[in-house]
Homo-oligomer: A and B are copies of this chain.
Amino acid sequence: MPELRKDPILGRWIIIAKERSRRPTDFVVQEQIVKGGFCPLCPGNENTTPAEVLAYGRNPSQPPNSPGWELRVVPNKYPALVIEGGLNKEGVGIYDKMNGIGAHEVIIESPKHEDTFITLSPERLIDVFWAFRDRLVDLGRDPRFKYVMVFKNSGKLAGASLEHSHSQLVALPILPRMIVSELDGSLNYFKYKERCIFCDIIRQEQREKIRVVCENEHFITLMPFAPRSPFEMWILPKKHSSSYIHTSDFAFAALAEIFSETMKRLDACIPNAPFNFVLHGAPLHSEPLEYFHWHFEIRPKLTTTAGFEWGSGFYINPMPPEDAAVYIREAFAK
């Protein structure tokens, strides 16, 4: 079973996922994603993944784990955390650990192997955002879990190990440090101003218009003032909302639209850029929060973080977001 361990100085948790263990020499080669060949995420190969937890689009007369689906969610075959068991916490001298209870799932975004997040049709994309919501709601029923981190790794440099378009989620028994920091920072601002800091950011960005990428009725994409890397972008709902699961039905079409436009603009600037995105929202079981605002953060993987970055917590970004925003706003004009 995986293990959660806490750094006694920083309070940072790490996951020891022994099930994924390798011998030292296995770390040497950073291999590319295998192109072509057998794909466990393609229709017809349903029996090579763990049994699905959700599927859209299959004729109800067909059995689960058979072809005919448009989207499919399955447990990760090499999970970072495992779903079975109780949450045992333990001290080891000055150290703390607990067993690695959680869920690790793969959202297979399309039956078509050649689809990418950038070429997905609006219908497929809307289904992806619905699937995130359905899984958040379902996993939120498990009292052991405090947070579900939804994320995507696209391209080998961004950490993907399979070519077939997919995103992932990890349900966690503790609140991630990054979410705690965002909640704390937002709450401090709210105590001082009685306003949501994200709402204030949206207002300032709409006024200044120098870091806005695009917007529609319900959402806005902007480059943050202090981006960690070139072309970092955030997608936020314009109307205050702390939790993704409170998003209303019609907004998923608008979300699919702006996400698609944002990614197509990025692709026009930097073709086939490897990228990650993450969904940040209020913790599971949380009341609606006045001070927090859910959002997606998108980061193309264009720079290497090295000794300085991990030793300091600083990031060095060679491109001001104001410059990157000009490139991306003019992306379709070229």
Which positions in A face B, CB cutoff 8 Å?
Answer: 3, 5-18, 20-22, 24-25, 27-28, 30, 80, 92-95, 149, 151-153, 157-160, 168, 170, 172, 176-179, 181-182, 185-186, 189, 197-198, 200-201, 204, 208, 224-228, 230-231, 269-273, 276-280, 297, 299-300, 302-308, 310-320, 323-324, 327
**Are A225 and B95 in touch, CB under 8 angstroms?**
yes
Given A197-B94, A277-B307, A316-B17, are A230 and B27 also a contact pair (CB < 8 Å)?
A: yes
Given A9-B185, A186-B9, are A307 and B24 also a contact pair (CB < 8 Å)?
A: no
Can you list 11 A-B pairs, Cβ within 8 angstroms, ordered by A? A15-B314, A15-B315, A16-B320, A27-B270, A95-B226, A152-B307, A176-B314, A178-B313, A179-B312, A277-B307, A299-B310
Taken together as a complex, chains A and B put the C-alpha atoms of A200 and B299 apart, in Å, by: 39
What residues of chain B lie closer than 8 Å to A225, measured between beta carbons?
5, 7-8, 92, 95
**Are B226 and A5 in touch, CB under 8 angstroms?**
yes
Taken together as a complex, chains A and B put the C-alpha atoms of A198 and B231 apart, in Å, by: 39
Given A25-B270, A201-B94, A307-B159, are A185 and B13 also a contact pair (CB < 8 Å)?
A: no
**Are B168 and A307 in touch, CB under 8 angstroms?**
yes
What residues of chain B lie closer than 8 Å to A181, measured between beta carbons?
10, 313
**Are B149 and A270 in touch, CB under 8 angstroms?**
no
A327's contact among B24, B185, B315, by CB below 8 Å, is which? B24
Measured CB to CB, the closest approach of chain B to A314, in angstroms, equals: 6
**Are B151 and A308 in touch, CB under 8 angstroms?**
yes
* Least CB separation from A177: chain B residue: B313
Measured CB to CB, the closest approach of chain B to A309, in angstroms, equals: 8
Taken together as a complex, chains A and B put the C-alpha atoms of A25 and B270 apart, in Å, by: 6
What residues of chain B lie closer than 8 Å to A200, measured between beta carbons?
94
* Least CB separation from A321: chain B residue: B16
Taken together as a complex, chains A and B put the C-alpha atoms of A306 and B22 apart, in Å, by: 19
Given A14-B314, A94-B197, A270-B25, are A307 and B8 also a contact pair (CB < 8 Å)?
A: no
Taken together as a complex, chains A and B put the C-alpha atoms of A280 and B228 apart, in Å, by: 22
